[in-house]
Structure 1
């Protein structure tokens, strides 16, 4: 089994045993690996620890039971493997910032943790730490033609849907019905407002021979890039990607090559329709 298969199986096992006190040793023994190695695998794939994930899932299911049943708090605590009312209350307060009783009485809103969906990607072991797989390449400047829009990844789902719609029509026109073979998507920050980002999606100028009116010119600067491979689109998995990149940076010791024109770019190659995987390029020094 690879790392993704191990963690997917472990999550299924955890979900089936939320009523029990699961240990790291019990989970690791299912895959004939040491608890330490299993801990590293789980944290690398999920970007959280086994203990934290189990606790948050137990508390989330307990929170649902508090709202949907009239069982008393103590019985719900025991149902999800807590040893006492006090232990349950401490955990609930720490994760949701409200006591179980107040949550039930006052209809307080909390962010429940759902069963985790694992993002498929490859990993490697570097300095005894498991990080997302990657390689490096030096690129010369790439001149692009395309369109640019303002985005807020985490704030407005409708905004992301609109961006995806625009990218879809752009791809249909210039790649599937045009002469270009690759789609590039550049993300950069607004120098005047760090909370805002601009997304530029375009094609290589050298690959397009049609009408260029209405297309904006941009360039991917020459640099050394770290390259990662992910499924889907950045807009759907950016939280996982950013956590992966934070860990990679801390382990690799590299520094980002900060550039006002680009933070990173995504490359969608000709086989994206078949593989549904894109390449993420991050400039480094």
Structure 2
């Protein structure tokens, strides 16, 4: 996800670059700075960006504990995400979400070799962000809000509705990401704003059904910090299924000629 074209779309896994010298091209070894910028720097950006996003999200939830409504967490998550995408978009794509990374990778927006490192960096960042939120929050408020972890699903009967809600909300989010920031035919410079707004809207819409997570990393870090694992799998299964649905739609119907696998 980037304002113009994410560097994650330009990554190559090969170990050599082609360099023109006069009329003759030759192969040159990849420099250390190139390896850093193409592989290490993006993962560091994903880790830091996810840490900051989770920190803001958790602190907003803890601060909203005991209050009615979800406007504060919705605005905090959406605004923080939009700004962080603008800041880190040209380095890593500004995914900050394993479901988004999976969707972007399968839609051709980044090399599959970077999928696992990105997800690992995001999970590490989420733990750091949740730990920082715990450190700055009053212990009583932190406990009452479960540290910003998702505790909306209280009964086994509500699990199905929460999973479907997470799937559909993530479908909307990843569709905006792919069509607004990856697909060449529809990408826009307003992608960070659109992504932040859709996250805000989704949280407002589904806060009392599933909590409006849409992001396994956002669920994982707070679960570790607060030791709250009840129904945690919902926030992996729902977002991943939503991301895969978006991949199917983009690859089959809505992608540009380069992205579609049929009807080229």
**TM-score, normalised by the number of residues in structure 1:** 0.22
Structure of greater relative contact order (alpha carbons < 8 Å, 6+ residues apart):
2
Structure with bigger strand share is 1
**TM-score, normalised by the number of residues in structure 2:** 0.24
Structure with bigger helix share is 2
